[in-house]
Amino acid sequence: MPARRFYRGWEIDPAAEIDERDRKGTDEHTEAVFDESGQPVRIAFYRGKKPVHFEYRTAELGRARNEHAGKHAKVPFCVVLPNSVTAGRAHFWGELTYFFPSGRGEPANHKVSLFTPGGRRHMTITRGERDEVQEIEKWRYAPDGEPAVIFQYDGDGDVIDIFDVVEGGSTPLEEAMQGTDDPDFFRHGLALPAGLAGRAPPATAELLAGGQT
């Protein structure tokens, strides 16, 4: 039987788990429904008593869209599909996510991320309705495995902003790349990691057909 859990704030954080009765006293809280394997399948984010966003994790895009429109038509939501495509020996593309800002109708855009086998996110590409690239984000990690620098690029791959998570502000490109063993990956948004040089990110149709790896 699916289990429901509640958390203070807008994330699934075991350290912030609260009882259902305590959520009424929070400004923001998260309600998550888990399947029998312990994976979240529906996540709702609340401001006070009002839901402001839903996230569904399912292979059934159409069903999730229809069920949401019937119950929460005015609340924005997204659907995260399990589809993934391998990329070389050390990466895979996954978490194909569709965003529905109006709570119904067609998605405004969608995104897909590049991961290592261990689940570390390297980059995320956001695409529009015609599959055109709109925005790119990349992550550089500290030795402890936590994100250290977040790189943001426009659809052409040009730098928009570079945020130093540790220092808490923007930083120049060359400074942000110091010490990395793959500077070309961060220099341009459309570049892939060295092991994938010369390849292109998969089209959305390829991801939808790829299924799970």
Model confidence over 147-162: pLDDT tens digits?
A: 999 999 999 999 999 9
With 80 as the cut, is the pLDDT of residue 88 above it? no
- The CA distance from 101 to 166, in Å, is 31
Mean pLDDT of 177-201: 89
- Taking 50 as the threshold, does the pLDDT of residue 125 lie above it? yes
CB-CB contact of 149 with 140 (8 Å): yes
CB neighbourhood size of 43 (10 A): 22
In a domain, 143, yes or no: no
- Domain annotation covers residue 35: yes
Query: What secondary structure does DSSP assign to 36-90, as a single string?
Result: TTS-EEEEEEEETTEEEEEEEE-S-HHHHHHHHHHH-TTS-EEEEE---EEETTT
pLDDT cut 70: percent of the chain above it: 97
Q: What is the pLDDT of residue 60?
A: 92
Give the torsion sign (CA, 181, 186, 187, 191): positive
What distance in Å separates the CA atoms of residue 61 and residue 77, rounded to the nearest whole number?
A: 12
pLDDT for residue 210: 66
What's the number of domains the chain is made of? 1
In degrees and rounded to multiples of 5, residue 79 shows phi and psi of -125, 125
Length of the chain equals: 213
Q: Is the pLDDT of residue 194 over 60?
A: yes
DSSP reduced 3-state for 167: coil
Examine residue 188 and state whether it is found in any structural domain, yes or no: no
pLDDT above 70: residue 211: no
Q: Which residue has the higher pLDDT, 201 or 51?
A: 51
Round to whole Å and give the CA distance between 87 and 201.
9
pLDDT tops 50 at residue 105: yes
Range of the domain at 49: 1-57
> Residue 213 pLDDT > 50, yes or no?
no
Phi and psi angles of residue 155, each rounded to the nearest 5 degrees, phi first? -65, -20
Q: Is residue 198 part of a domain?
A: no
CA distances from 13 to 8, 10, 30, 67 (A): 8, 9, 9, 27
Q: Which residue has the higher pLDDT, 137 or 69?
A: 137
Q: What is the pLDDT of residue 119?
A: 84
Report pLDDT for 1: 58
Q: With respect to residue 196, please indicate whether it lies within any of the assigned structural domains.
A: no
Q: In this structure, is residue 44 part of a structural domain?
A: yes
Q: Can you tell me the distance from the alpha carbon of 22 to that of 104, in angstroms, rounded to the nearest whole number?
A: 31
Q: What is the mean pLDDT of residues 82-90?
A: 82
Given a cut of 60, whether residue 212 has pLDDT beyond it is: no
Q: 40 lies in a domain?
A: yes
Q: How confident is the model at residue 17 (pLDDT cuts 50, 70, 90)?
A: very high
Collapsing DSSP to helix, strand or coil, 26 comes out as coil
Q: Is 23 part of a structural domain of the chain?
A: yes
Which carries the bigger pLDDT value, residue 179 or residue 35? Answer: 35
Around Cβ 194, how many Cβ atoms within 10 Å? 11
